[in-house]
Chains A and B, each alone.
Chain A
Amino acid sequence: MGISRRKVLETSQLLPVFPRIISEILHTIDDPNFNFNSLVRHVGHDPVLTGRVFSMANRAATHVQHDLQIKDLYKATSLVGVAKLQKMVILAAMANHFKDASEAGMPEEFWARSLATGICAQHVAAFAGLSIDTALIAGILHNVGKLWLLRFEPSAYREILNRTADSGTLPPSQIERERFGVNHAVIGSWLGEIWSLPGQICEAIRHYEDPYVANENPYADVVHVAEVIGNALDLTRCGHSRVHHLSDASCQRLGLIWDDSSDDLFGSIEASIRLIDEASLFPHPASGAGR
């Protein structure tokens, strides 16, 4: 049976509310002062996040002054820096949201893949002079339709996962379309619309596999290229990473040329992933249950 927008809309009421802090960040991307206070307040309400910020700030403080101990949250956040703090808040909020949204438990590889694409998208956007926060959020959400399928069509979707795992060569989207009438990207974009995310992000989620139909939305190009880089570098180390296609037009629009200078992009991405790994936000699954 096919999946309609109406069905996704009805079932979305069973999902947790989309994190307000993400909407706030997206609406105040050009207002760093507002973001800073709002971010510090948000961090202060989350003990786990507060602990991570203090830990990162104190590590940085040892470079500045050996005996410096940071005990004030404002000092800690200013030492960490707005950009890094914003990234930590987005990652923590999205990780919690995905965890709460997947009733039967989120496959670890799912989050690892979402996160890897988000980080790659952030670096690709920085290279192209686009908003890194918009890119990070779009990248993390690119697979959210799969999370919906795992929760609301569990047996049919697991069957698809097994089929693609067995063959290794069939693009999952093609099988999803045959089975449900739509693929995970379309379902993800419907969820984005229901959560009132900006049109550019919804479109990027919908067209990351076929960015040439996205009305030259640069974030569709960013997420497309980010997903390919994440797979090519095998950032999840799960054994299931595959590259099927890379759009030349997307690379051209973003100004990406694959030469010696690409090492900066790849190297920065891997170092960022290691940094997040240290903060325990990037699981490396031993098995590949649920891609």
Chain B
Amino acid sequence: MSSRMRSTYLSIGEIAPNMVLAKPLAVTERRMLRYVLPEGHALTEDNIRQLVSHHAEIICVRLPDERTETQIAADLDNLESRLGKIFETCDLSQPGMAAFFNRVRSYLGR
């Protein structure tokens, strides 16, 4: 198993204490800033309680990537073939479409 970490977006129900924030967290309600936590912060039970009270929905945390090198390579191969089919009819020479395609590939392959 590798010690690699990957950023993952979780719903509030999937969050547990000690998970580490991959990005700064700012919870707003009715356009008012209600709760802020910095990147790298390890969530405590009290933090989670506050997030639930402020109706936070999605949190980005760092989780260990438990895949082996072989699994990662296989996942990337599958992704390339899936994306090849999905974008089959697109004109990827157009800058806008190419930027979108590359971003989707980078996100799904992270």
User: Are B90 and A271 in contact (CB-based, < 8 A)?
Assistant: no
The chain A residues found within 8 Å of chain B, CB to CB, are: 32, 59-60, 63-64, 79-81, 83-84, 168-169, 228, 231-234, 241-246, 248, 251, 258-259, 262-264, 266-268, 270-272, 274-275, 278
Say what secondary structure dominates the interface of chain A: helix
User: Are B89 and A169 in contact (CB-based, < 8 A)?
Assistant: yes
B 51-94 binary contact with A (CB < 8 Å = 1; else 0): 11101011010000000000000000000001001111110001
- Supposing A263-B7, A270-B9, A271-B9 touch, asked if A63 and B48 sit within 8 A by C-beta, the answer is yes
User: Are A244 and B89 in contact (CB-based, < 8 A)?
Assistant: yes
Does B35 sit at the interface, judged by CB under 8 A? no
The chain B residues found within 8 Å of chain A, CB to CB, are: 7-14, 23, 30, 45, 48-49, 51-53, 55, 57-58, 60, 82, 85-90, 94, 96-97, 99-104, 106-108, 110
Closest chain A residue to B88, Cβ basis: A169
User: Are B89 and A278 in contact (CB-based, < 8 A)?
Assistant: no
Question: How many angstroms from the CA of A168 to the CA of B108 in the assembled complex?
Answer: 23
User: Are A248 and B96 in contact (CB-based, < 8 A)?
Assistant: yes
- A sample of 12 cross-chain residue pairs with beta-carbon separation below 8 angstroms, ordered by A number, consists of A60-B12, A60-B52, A63-B12, A232-B100, A243-B89, A244-B90, A245-B97, A258-B103, A263-B110, A266-B103, A267-B9, A267-B60
Question: How many angstroms from the CA of A185 to the CA of B76 in the assembled complex?
Answer: 36
